[in-house]
Amino acid sequence: MAQSTLMPLLMQYPLALQLPIRHLVVVGNDIPLTTIHRLTYYYFSYALKVKIAVFDITVYFKPLCQTEICSKMGAKVSINFDIDEMNQEYQSKTPQQLLELAFDTFNNIAISFSGAEDIALIEMASKITDRFQVFCLDTGRLHPQTYRFIEKVRDHYKINIELIYPEATDVEQLVKNKGLFSFYTDGHSECCGIRKIAPLRKKLSTLDAWITGQRKDQSPGTRNNIALIEADSAFSGINTQLTKFNPLANMNSKEVWDYLWMFDVPYNELHDQGFISIGCEPCTRAIRPNQHEREGRWWWEESTIKECGLHVGNIEIQTIKS
């Protein structure tokens, strides 16, 4: 793209490229027009200096995210950063800083809310931006307390929480063939696949990135190696990469609850009844003192892999490492 063509295009809009991204490729009709090679940022009284190809251009701006900019430019945008490099860089940073990275890098991103301690993500996000999406998987088998909690969160933060439902015909067929509690004899994989994984896959196909409340201490068998940022191969589409952020990964349960108490964050009343890890009502129970939180999930199964499949990549990573 010639400088004479690029300059009017840039100056036509109040632009902002927000920190931090590493590579930005702008394409039109899937043919590269220009590549911003490792963006270099210099902030001088609201001025942004960007090195584009061989040209130095200074643009005065108001805050917008990268994807909004390229949308205004009539182009599609592919944002890529070195995940390994970012993981290393953000090990010493706070969950809030990782959330800022997520929101600054991706416009089409959403928080996955389970109705448990991951309320911390919504609290943190609300202090960073008012531009965030939240979705929750409604399997049809959640506790009444969880449904009430979802509404409490909606009212407290004045946000929309998109409820994602399974396909009614798939649920109907499962119940018709095997009844309402087949998972007690057949294992939970089939039911979770219909009520959780399939609707999640459908939702994630509309996103470029998602944010989860996973922590390493939640499940020593499957989550002790989770990264702060992942390329989510399990749910990425054809020729598209879904990026997954786990801002709470390095926090433990006590640290999360200290944060919730500090800011008087609403929480699921099931936590007052001994529930730690909260899922569907038939598959979740309170735990006894000194039991690990995941022992309250699918307790009738002997497997140490206590995952429903939403984070199936954890199982794959664990298998490779072992």
User: Residues with catalytic annotation?
Assistant: 308
Distance CA 263, CA 271 (A): 17
pLDDT in tens, 164-221: 999 999 999 999 999 999 999 988 889 999 999 999 999 999 999 999 999 988 766 6
Distance CA 161, CA 150 (A): 8
pLDDT in tens, 207-234: 999 999 999 887 666 667 899 999 998 8
What radius of gyration do the chain's Cα atoms show? 22
Helix (H) or strand (E) holding 126: helix 119-126
Query: Domains of the chain: which residue ranges?
Result: 3-80, 87-321
Max mean pLDDT among 53-67, 165-179, 283-297 falls in 165-179
Q: Which residues contact 73 (CB under 8 A, 6 or more apart)?
A: 9, 13, 26
Q: Which residues contact 178 (CB under 8 A, 6 or more apart)?
A: 186, 190
**Sign, CA torsion 143/147/148/152:** positive
Query: CA angle at residue 229 from 85 to 265, to 5 degrees?
Result: 130
How many other C-beta atoms are found inside a 10 Å radius of the C-beta of residue 162? 12
**How is residue 92 written in tokens?**
């010493």
Query: At residue 61, does pLDDT exceed 70?
Result: no
Percent pLDDT > 90 in the chain is 50
With residues binned 3-state (H G I as helix, E B as strand, rest as coil), the percentages for the chain, rounded to 5, are: 40, 20, 45
Q: Is 199 exposed, middle or buried (0-12, 13-18, 19+ CB in 10 A)?
A: buried
Which one is the CATH code of 87-321: 3.40.50.620, 2.40.50.100, 3.30.930.10, 3.40.50.300?
A: 3.40.50.620
Taking a C-beta distance cutoff of 8 angstroms, is the pair 132, 110 a contact? yes
Query: At residue 49, does pLDDT exceed 60?
Result: no
